Amino acid sequence: MGWSHISFKKNKALSILTYMRILHYKCNFLAETGEYILLIWNVIVVICTRPPRWSLIQEQLYNIGVLSLPVVAMTGFFTGLVLAAQSFFQLSSKGLAGATGVMVGKAMLTELGPVLTAFMVTGRVGAAMCAELATMRVSEQIEALETMSVNPNRYLISPRFISGIIMMPLLTVFSIIMGMFGGCLISVYYFKISFASYFDPMPIYINNFDLLTAVVKALIFGFLITTISCYKGLRTSGGAGGVGRSTTKSVVICYTLILFANFFITLGLNLLKKMTGWFS
């Protein structure tokens, strides 16, 4: 009886400890979500009341947009190559090789262009953005700005926020163009499909709704990448190790939310199209 009683108490204590740990994680998640929403609200208020200097925005436009062009171009180009090759191998045996261009264009516009561009920008820009702000936090540079009456949201966050939302759609369109170009090259010069057979079906099966889907996804992905990276960077603590942990967490969270958002945007836009009859 004694040992069973002790074992029962031990199991009960472990259950209570597990419950408390789960409750602690849930409270932390709710607190971080509230802080994240508050950061977004403060940045929007700053942009609407006193926008950042153009020089700060211009610097971030260059860092986020221009410096990302090589990796985005390579990603879109080789994705188009793979899409064209797979489409041709699957369709040629059924006499539908002429649909290769449509398959490449449709996939690049609606799914692969926005998502892969967002992944590349997260890895190249989001991680660097988070690491830079995290280093400023642990070295107390952000506190120094606040001491000098400089608003970090206006000086550090809002230029990145504005630039990310502007550049993501442009980078996505560039990636889509490179994907179509790569698919065209391999289709014409390797699979011997004519230019007309590759491009002529596109206006029939690809419409403005597909372009709208790509732009909306790019805007939301840019919003998520910049806000999450900045938020995780600002909440860093623990020295150099904390910088690494915050950067890793920001990239993982961005990738996860991009995939979640991609599904819900696709579902929502198609339901909206069906309900309203737009672009039909």
pLDDT score for 6: 52
Task: Say yes or no: 134 and 32 in one domain.
Answer: no
What angle (nearest 5°) sits at the alpha carbon of residue 176, between those of residues 175 and 179?
Answer: 85
Q: Please tell me the total count of domains within the chain.
A: 2
What number of residues does the chain have?
280
Q: How far is CA 28 from the centre of its chain?
A: 24
pLDDT score for 151: 87
| Host domain of residue 19 | 1-49
In order of 260, 279, 280, the CA distances from 272 in angstroms are 18, 10, 11
Average pLDDT over residues 187-214: 89
What angle (nearest 5°) sits at the alpha carbon of residue 163, between those of residues 162 and 167?
Answer: 125
User: Look-up: residue for tokens 């997260």?
Assistant: 122
pLDDT band for position 4 (50/70/90)? low
Task: Say yes or no: 176 and 45 in one domain.
Answer: no
Task: Say yes or no: 39 and 65 in one domain.
Answer: no
Instruction: Pull the structure tokens for residue 82.
Output: 């793979």
Q: pLDDT, tens digit, for every residue of 203-246? A: 888 888 999 999 999 999 999 999 999 999 998 888 888 899 99
CA atoms within 13 A on the CB side of 109: 17
Task: Say yes or no: 160 and 200 in one domain.
Answer: yes
Question: For residues 148 and 247, is the Cβ–Cβ distance under 8 A?
Answer: no
pLDDT at 163 over 90: yes
Task: Say yes or no: 29 and 68 in one domain.
Answer: no
Q: How far is CA 42 from the centre of its chain?
A: 21
Task: Say yes or no: 124 and 220 in one domain.
Answer: yes
Task: Say yes or no: 252 and 192 in one domain.
Answer: yes
Task: Say yes or no: 9 and 129 in one domain.
Answer: no
CA dihedral 60, 66, 71, 74 (to 10 degrees): 150
Task: Say yes or no: 132 and 45 in one domain.
Answer: no
Task: Say yes or no: 10 and 43 in one domain.
Answer: yes
Task: Say yes or no: 134 and 235 in one domain.
Answer: yes
In order of 43, 111, 151, 212, the CA distances from 147 in angstroms are 19, 45, 10, 44
Task: Say yes or no: 26 and 151 in one domain.
Answer: no
